[in-house]
Structure 1
């Protein structure tokens, strides 16, 4: 089990404004899973050819994606943006 956590960056209001409740539930579920991966979260999602930096991960069968930062020194996954196509 990882001791990593997750949070919104810069804030939940900024990232989640106007998104359906079900989408946010999925984002929070995925963020919890990413935090559970710990240091391995820097390799999940796009881009595939390198580690670290801003990553992207599809949500709800490609109907959107999340952008996140996995920061090992903070031991935290930061959800920075949610794009929802509906």
Structure 2
């Protein structure tokens, strides 16, 4: 059944389902589902920068270092490791 053939009530429910979002799995792997919003496709010209995506996902230091050579951001340091402030 195509979207055009789907009853109106079912289409309304489908429209309420959020698009898939990127996430970091238990192994620390960044997962970007194929059906996610194109803005999350960091490898394309239109996608956001990988650093911005990792900040949005609140990546840990070990995940950050796996994907980027850049220094770990202060904002994530304060957020993820508050007891190390001082």
Give TM-score, length-normalised by structure 1: 0.23
The structure having more radius of gyration, on CA atoms, is 2
Give TM-score, length-normalised by structure 2: 0.23
More helix as a share of residues? 2
More strand as a share of residues? 1
Larger relative CO (CA 8 A, sep 6+): 1 or 2?
A: 1
